[in-house]
Chains A and B, each alone.
Chain A
Amino acid sequence: MSLPADAATALEAFQAVGSWEQRARMLMQWGERLPALLDEDKIDANLVQGCESLVWLVGRLQNGHWQFAASSDARLIRGLVALLLARVNGLSAAELQAVDLPDWFNQLGLSRQLSPSRSNGLNAVLQRMRDLSSNT
């Protein structure tokens, strides 16, 4: 299964990162590129529980392909979510089931963001994505 174009770009960029500052800057840049979430989607029902910041996640199957949208009031988690969406948007339901998301963040050099002690909420976002995709 080939990587979506955005994901390939992200992978190349993050694998070239040398310092933590550079990684943080890039995360924030990715976060800024995340399309704004519609106000009507910024409702409590779409809030991901278990994050230190407010994170909204919505997902819709369109013509058999997943389109997720998200936002957060914190910049680094927004960047992490942008990297997540780059990997999953446009996948079919079967492809989404098959994708190894922890491995995706590992490849990006961001596996520590998924450690169980991290309360930034990336784990909660992944769980919410699994719930959304399995209920449809």
Chain B
Amino acid sequence: MLVPSPWRADFPAIATLQRQDQTYLDNAATTQKPQALLDAISHYYANGAANVHRAQHLPGAHATQAFEDSRSKVSQWLNVGDDGQIIFTHGATSALNLLAYGLEHLFNPGDEIVISALEHHANLLPWQQLAKRRELELVVLPLGDDGLIDLQAAAQLIGPRTRLLAVSQLSNVLGAWQPLPQLLALARAHDALTVVDGAQGIVHGRHDVQALGCDFYVFSSHKLYGPDGVGVLYGRTEALHHLRHWQFGGEMVQQADYHSASFRPAPLGFEAGTPPIASVIGLGATLDYLSSLDQQAVIAHEAALHDYLLRGLQARNGVRVLGSPQVALASFVVDGIHNADLAHLLTEQGIAVRAGHHCAMPLLKQMGLSGAIRVSLALYNDSDDLERFFEALDQALDLLR
């Protein structure tokens, strides 16, 4: 095989899917899980579940310890250091909604929120709706032909009325790293808060939030080979002081009376109710597993696989790749063929890819497309997966032409 994956056997679901003749290439939607994660969740449930931060009993102490260990592991993964906090949410979407509600008080009519044209709905709609609530301007940074946010336009559009910039690190449709250092510098120059949607970026390479210099960084566990139901919100300490409490309930409170209450600071003040304890512990185990891998080897593998994917697509007549994907994924359309037809026939052949608008409807509309097919890779994929995909693609195109 041209590009084998040495980590494939660490993910038991891959073998199961293969027995069902399924080739999983929808990793930007969610990923398969390593055995280390299955073991950690099974261990937690088999050895005594308990709620965290509440009880004085021993099971509660163990659960709390494991839960807080996961927080430290996430902290280390992002190199948070002493100047920030990790808040666990129920997903990247809920982290972004927490920001849009918790920061709402900072905005006055006429203020501007800046996003980009490639945002996933999760990093578009919370800001769009905040803009509607507070009569703000939602400014949309345009893209260049390469799928990157246009920095010249950004320099014009990010200005003294900009109160917040929220952008993706890596597009889930175009697979291109966005020029974050320049964009964040533009926002900082105008004292605007900065939010980075790392949902896709976190999965590829290691990222240092201190070096990045953003105020908030958001990602979801399930795209990073972890359990679903957990999102991560990093906040810089100073920026967290702006964040008002949003959801109210158990354990986020300091003092409660019938008619008033006071609340804890970050992180616990933003984790109302019972958190997804097993999933957070599972995320910690996933990070341990990922930390044990040779990071350079993973990056090299993903690059080789991505190259293999792009070459294969470019070798086929009529296939048009969207933008200039650099890593992880490629979205494409085929001239004269409806993506829904192609998706149908790929599904028939056991190829799990994504078709449609990829939760970025405005971007697809702007490109004049009703949808596209997206192939997205993970570290357990190998070139045989891609060969099966190409074979199925050729079959489908034969039938449709």
Contact = CB atoms under 8 A, between A and B. Distances in A.
Interface stretch (B80-88, B109-117, B128-136, B341-349): B341-349
Contacts of A120: 340, 343-344
Interface string A105-135: 0000000000000011000000000000000
Contacts of A76: 340-341, 344-345
A20 B370 CA distance: 26
B202 to A, nearest CB: 26
Contact of A24 (B345, B355, B370, B371): B345
A24 B340 CA distance: 13
A11 to B, nearest CB: 20
Contacts of B340: 51-53, 74, 76-77, 120
Contacts of A51: 340
A117 to B, nearest CB: 10
Interface residues of A, number: 17
A75 B370 contact: no
Given A20-B349, A52-B343, A120-B344, A73 B399 contact: no
B359 to A, nearest CB: 12
A28 B338 CA distance: 13
Interface of B is mostly: helix
Interface centre among B340, B349, B356, B395 (most CB of A within 10 A): B340
A19 B370 CA distance: 29
Given A75-B400, A76-B340, A52 B355 contact: yes
Contacts of B343: 52, 120
Interface in B362-401: 370-371, 395, 399-400
A66 B135 CA distance: 49
B330 to A, nearest CB: 19
Interface in B158-176: none
Contacts of B370: 52-54, 73
Contacts of A60: none
B331 interface: no
B320 to A, nearest CB: 18
A28 B345 CA distance: 12
A20 B371 CA distance: 24
Contacts of A54: 370
B356 A75 contact: no
A74 B399 contact: no
Most buried by B among A23, A75, A77: A75
B339 interface: yes
A119 B399 contact: no
Contacts of A25: 399
29 contacts: A20-B349, A23-B348, A24-B344, A24-B345, A24-B399, A25-B399, A28-B399, A52-B340, A52-B343, A52-B355, A52-B356, A52-B370, A52-B371, A53-B338, A53-B340, A54-B370, A73-B338, A73-B370, A74-B338, A74-B340, A74-B341, A75-B341, A75-B400, A76-B340, A76-B344, A76-B345, A77-B340, A119-B356, A120-B340
Given A75-B400, A119-B355, A120-B343, 17 more contacts: A20-B348, A20-B349, A24-B344, A24-B348, A28-B399, A52-B355, A52-B356, A52-B371, A53-B340, A53-B370, A73-B338, A73-B370, A75-B338, A76-B341, A76-B344, A76-B345, A77-B344
